[in-house]
Every structure is written in C-alpha cells, then in structure tokens.
Structure 1
Amino acid sequence: MIVRRLLDKAGRTYADEAGIKLADKPSPLYRLLVLATLLSTRINAGIAVAAAKELAAAKLTTPRAMADSRWQDRVDALGRAHYLRYDEQTATALGDSAETLLRDYSGDLRKLREAGDGGTEGIRRRLRKFARVGPVGADIFCREAQAVWPELRPYLDKKALDGAKRIGLPADPAQLARHTDDEALLAAALVRVALDRELAESVAEG
C-alpha cells in the first residue's frame, strides 16, 4: 500500500529530525516555532534543521533565553549550520519573535492556542504576527503541532497535498487522514516527497 511505503520511507517529522521531543509544553512548542521560522526561508530544509540544532546547542530553547542572547551569538549559531544569506535577518527576527511571545503570551504558546478564536484559522492568524512567520511558517508550525494540538487535525496544507499528487494519492485531507492515526507524520512525509523527486519516485514505484 502506497501510504505504508510513504510512511516507511519518508515518515519522520521535522521536529523529530531537529531533536525536538514535541509535547504540549512551553519549551518544545517554542523550539517548533523557531524551526518553523528557519524553514520558512528559501533554504534547504536540512540546513534549517541543522540551524535549529545549533540554536538548541547554544541553549536558546526558550523565548527568554533567545531574547536575552546577543545578536552575534545567534548569527554565529546559524553560521555553524551554514544557514547563510538569511543569517543576519533571521537572527534579528528570532530576537523580535521571542520578545513578541514574551509580551503577548508570557512566553507560552499554549496561551496563543487558548486565544485562537476561530479554531485553526485563529491559530494561524496569531502565528503570522511573529517576525518572519508568514503563511508558509504558519503552515509548517501547524503541520507539526497537530501531533499535540488535536483541533488542528488533519492539517494537510498545499505543500503536503502537492506531495500527495506527486505519488498518486488523492489531494483531499479527509481521505488522506483515513489512512493513518498520525496526521503529523503523514504531513511531514508528504512534504518530503513534494521536495524530493527521487524520494517520490521511490515511494510511487515501490
């Protein structure tokens, strides 16, 4: 079955790849927001994941730590992951985003969730108020966060549906979600085949 092959070959969330043990707790949710910010730019996903790991290694895993860090230290962490071209802008954005989270939600994204009137769209709208988190960044966060925020499920955005079409699956979130009880894993796998033609061919051909 193609969905089983998909999950076997590409079934790993980006949070897991970045070393984030996702849970409905402030630090892992914040680290997911950082990862979504890093993945939002036009840069290789592997480099963005490596950058998230470098920031974590520098102990920048809470909004307070990020806000209190030196801009140059953030630039250096991104540089160690070869997160170039966008390193200075992103370092600034991460500091600004941390300040916004501390000011508006006391550093806790669960409060954003609670304030998310309008369900999924309310959550997306609030996420987009963070620096450099546009529609793409909000999609990335929600795709992964659905693992711990059930009201987001099934969150299969355009990028995930592009992956579904590439391997011959229906581009319909409800139909796709019927194949698994782990929508976050499915979404990540579909995005991976959307981004990697060879992987998509491997999945489609069996």
Structure 2
Amino acid sequence: MNTVTRKLLRESGTTFAEEVGVPLKDQPAALFKLLVLADLLSARISSGVAMAAARELFDAGGGTPRGMSGLTWQQRVDALGRGHYVRYDESTATRLGEVARMVQDKYRGDLRRLAAEADHDPGKAAELLREFPGIGPTGVDIFCREAQAMWPWLRPYVDSQVRKGAERVGLPSAPDKLAAQVPAKDLAHLTAALVRVSRDKRLADSVTSS
C-alpha cells in the first residue's frame, strides 16, 4: 500500500454509511438504512445535509422498512426538516414511504433477498435497485459502492466519481488496478475517500503533499 492510499484511508476512509452510524453488516436493517441514505444522497443537495436527514429519520424510527412505513407522512417531513433537507422534504417523505413498502412487499423486509434474486450479479442488482422510487444511476452507484463492503460479489465497484478521485490523486482508475491497492475488505473505504477527494481539491492536495 503506497503513501497516498494509506493517507486516504486514514484521513477520509470512513464510508458515508458509517458516518451516519450505519454498520457495514449484511443485515436487513443496515441494508435498508443504506438504501435510504443512497436515496437521500441522490438529490441535488449537499452530502452533509443528506446525512443529517438520514440520522433524523433513523432516530425517529425510520431505520427499518416497518419503522419507516409506520411513520406518518408528516413525521417523515418533520424529520427531514430537522436535518435541513427542506427543498425536497415533501416529495422525499412520500417516496421513502413507497420505498419502505416495496422492500416489505417484494423482499419481505430483507434486501438480502434482492441479492439472491439478482443471483449475485452486479448488473442485475443495479436493475433491481432502479425499481425503487428515487433510485437512479447515481443512487445505484452510492448503494453498490458502499454495499461492496458487505457483498463481496459487487467488488470491485468503481463508479465515475471514484475514478475522478483516483485520477486526481494519481491512483489507477481501472477497477481491477484500483482494487489491487488495498485489501479487499478496505475497498469500500478507499472508494468513499476517493469520492471525497473528487469533490474537494484541497483535500486531494493534502493527501498528495509530502
């Protein structure tokens, strides 16, 4: 592992899920929370606001499909408002209720069944994820980039934001070559760090400075 990679992991390698308190575990609640976070991060809004809104929703009881469905629309709006996710709060509150019901109805509350239905194929998993309201290509990238920590069959998941970050700090952007920079268990952390440096030139400069 080279110096840049070590600095990336040390300084910016916390995944976005971990930053909002979601453990990287192959468990129903953790996977649902990651799906909600991917939905929130997909909007044209800062990642900090999206993560704050996720925390408020989870604290309000929306950390499971049943819990999210059990919140009233107004309770979801209020939680989003506390996280300052106000531009899209009403439509997002509606959509997250639909997502929760779909997870319950189609996957019996457990997104590990999505992995099984996809036959552990990343392309098929992406198609199934896009069936959720609000999850488009960006949401798929966010979910899969972090889920590769729990689902090894997604590795290496390297999207355009990760490639941009890799190029900015002088790492290879080809998925296999980038994955070879770290142990497999650390790839989700490396990709999270590279997304951050893709958006923050000062951070990238600090990582590459001697």
Q: Same fold (TM over 0.5)?
A: yes
CA deviation after TM superposition for structure 1 residue 22, in Å:
2.1
1:193 aligns with 2:197: yes
CA deviation after TM superposition for structure 1 residue 192, in Å:
0.7
Q: Distance in 2 between the 1:89 and 1:146 partners?
A: 29
8 Å contact 2:144–2:154 — kept in the other structure?
Answer: yes
The letter of the residue matching 1:165 is E
The letter of the residue matching 1:200 is A
CA deviation after TM superposition for structure 1 residue 81, in Å:
0.8
Q: Give 1:64-143 correspondences, 5 Å limit.
A: 64-117=66-119, 119-143=121-145
Q: Distance in 1 between the 2:11 and 2:24 partners?
A: 21
* SS of residue matched to 2:23: coil
Seen in structure 2, the aligned counterparts of structure 1 residues 59 and 5 have a Cα distance that, compared at 3 Å, is: same
Q: Distance in 1 between the 2:120 and 2:76 partners?
A: 35
Q: Distance in 2 between the 1:52 and 1:118 partners?
A: 27
Q: Distance in 1 between the 2:170 and 2:88 partners?
A: 35
Q: Distance in 2 between the 1:69 and 1:118 partners?
A: 32
* SS of residue matched to 2:63: coil
| Alignment match of 2:149 (pick from 147, 150, 159) | 147
* SS of residue matched to 2:188: helix
Q: Distance in 1 between the 2:32 and 2:193 partners?
A: 22
* TM-score, with structure 1 as normaliser: 0.97
CA RMSD of aligned residues (A): 1.0
CA deviation after TM superposition for structure 1 residue 118, in Å:
6.7
Return 5+ residue gaps in structure 2 as ranges: none
The letter of the residue matching 2:198 is A
Q: Distance in 1 between the 2:59 and 2:21 partners?
A: 10
1:204 aligns with 2:208: yes
Q: Any runs of at least 4 consecutive aligned residues in structure 1 with deviations exceeding 4 A, and if so which?
A: none
The letter of the residue matching 2:116 is E
Number of paired residues?
Answer: 206
8 Å contact 2:61–2:71 — kept in the other structure?
Answer: no
Q: Give CA-to-partner distance per residue, 1:4-31, whole Å, 9 cap, x none.
A: 1111221110011010112111111100
Q: Distance in 2 between the 1:103 and 1:63 partners?
A: 10
Q: Distance in 2 between the 1:205 and 1:84 partners?
A: 38
CA deviation after TM superposition for structure 1 residue 108, in Å:
0.7
Alignment correspondent of 1:173: 175
Q: Give 1:153-164 correspondences, 5 Å limit.
A: 153-164=155-166
CA deviation after TM superposition for structure 1 residue 63, in Å:
0.6
The letter of the residue matching 2:96 is L
Q: Distance in 1 between the 2:101 and 2:44 partners?
A: 24
Return 5+ residue gaps in structure 1 as ranges: none
Q: Distance in 2 between the 1:205 and 1:129 partners?
A: 43
The letter of the residue matching 1:5 is K
